[in-house]
Amino acid sequence: MERNVTLDFLRGAAILGILLLNISAFGLPKAAYLNPAWYGDITRSDAWTWAILDLLAQVKFLTLFALLFGAGLQLLLPRGKIWIQSRLTLLALLGFIHGLFFWDGDILLAYALVGLVCWRMIRDAQGVKSLFNTGVMLYLTGVCVLVLLGIITGDAVNRSWVPDAAHLQYEQFWKLKGGTEAVSNRASMLSDSLLALGAQYGWQLAGMMLMGGALMRSGWLKGQFSLRHYRRVGALLIILGLLINLPAVVAQWWLNWDYRWSAFLLQAPRELGAPLQTIGYAALVYGFWPQICHSRLVAAITCVGRMALSNYLLQTLICTTLFYHLDLFMKFNRLQLLGFILPVWIINLTFSVLWLRRFRQGPVEWLWRQLTARASGVSLRHTSR
């Protein structure tokens, strides 16, 4: 099977873009991920950093990754049931290990579990239109559940939104100390994440995967439409997504990031706008691919995409070392943390380019493929990637 280079580039951009938000999850308490006023106050630089990232990146790159994950499930269908189930089960196991022993922000387990359901829905869909529409309905269901949670939530301040000094001190303690204390806390957070996946987030994740599968099946994610189509669709969807999200960003700022509104109700516009912006970003890449495909930077990002799993785990290794083992946790504000992103990106890019000069796959991708073949009983000579 010939590789879709543009798809690899988008996957690499998603992995690099996810770090724009994850860096605050590594360097600041859990409450800071969505709440820039997590310590009860806020500086102007923190507020503007949050606002810009919320408009351009928050949820968008995770949504792009989910879209591409669904596209990948469509591409994997010829491999058969046993291969796909083995592959996703191993990914779930890796995600469980990653989330329990290394970092509480893992996404692999969620993607694998939802993928185990979605690949069948993609396989059994009667047509592209029905598959895409089902994805939209599932996604909107998740947004509706989010709004419902906001409606039934009381006005009392939640300590996960604005933690007190004792909660902050304890979080800093177990993250820096590690050991069984850290594993115990990560296990509790993993349990909460799985509950959230089943109750709300899983609907949206499944919806994006189905939409990704539909866009791949239609040829849209294979670049089979005109450059003019991609450019026009990209510009339109990005503008529309920004217009949906911007009022919510302004409202959250005006409400001083009130828990009930900012943790639930005003998340909904961002969630509604994210798929539009995400597909818009992808469309612009396809629309301008002839102009950018010869760039060395684009080639390097494409290498990151070919080794997406290895690079995602590498980001965890680098950032947990910096913030937990070298005691940099809670030492930088939201804006200052962005200074760590470029060095990590450079490591991702350099590692990917150098590795792929000698090998066909990333190290984790190679191991994943080998284990999948053993678990499924399929000879690697009968697979091409």
pLDDT tens by residue, 17-43:
999 999 999 999 999 998 999 988 889
Question: Which residue has tokens 């680098």?
Answer: 318
Please state the rounded mean pLDDT for residues 189-200.
Answer: 94
User: What's the pLDDT at 385?
Assistant: 41
Mean pLDDT of 67-79: 96
Q: Is the pLDDT of residue 53 over 90?
A: yes
Assess whether pLDDT exceeds 80 at residue 381.
Answer: no
Residue 156 has a pLDDT of: 65
As a whole number of Å, the end-to-end CA separation of the chain is 7
Closest CA to 30 of 347, 341, 254, 323: 323
- pLDDT-derived band of residue 157, with 50, 70 and 90 as boundaries? low
Question: Can you give the pLDDT at residue 16?
Answer: 98
* Eight-state DSSP code of residue 163: -
62, 141, 161, 213 from 111: Cα distances, Å? 10, 18, 25, 14
- Reported as a single tens digit per residue, the pLDDT across 350-377 is 999 999 999 999 999 999 999 999 998 8
227: exposed, middle or buried (Cβ count in 10 Å: 0-12, 13-18, 19+): middle
pLDDT at 380 over 80: no
Neighbour-count burial for 293-307, b at 16+ CB within 10 Å, e otherwise: eeeeebebbbbbbbb
What does the pLDDT read at residue 2?
60
Range with lowest mean pLDDT among 113-117, 147-151, 310-314, 379-383: 379-383
CA dist 198 and 237 (Å) reads 29
Is residue 181 within 8 Å of 302, Cβ to Cβ?
no
Q: What percent of the chain has pLDDT above 70?
A: 97
**Residue 239: pLDDT above 80?**
yes
What is the residue-wise DSSP string for 209-255?
Answer: HHHHHHHHHTTGGGT-S-HHHHHHHHHHHHHHHHHHHHHHHHHHHHT
290-291-294-297 Cα dihedral, nearest 10 degrees: -130
Residue 155 has pLDDT above 80, yes or no: no
Confidence band for 172, pLDDT divided at 50, 70 and 90: very high
* Amino acid letter for position 379: S
* Average model confidence (pLDDT) across the chain: 94
Structure token pair of residue 183:
């594993």
Query: What is the mean pLDDT of the segment spanning 316-332?
Result: 96
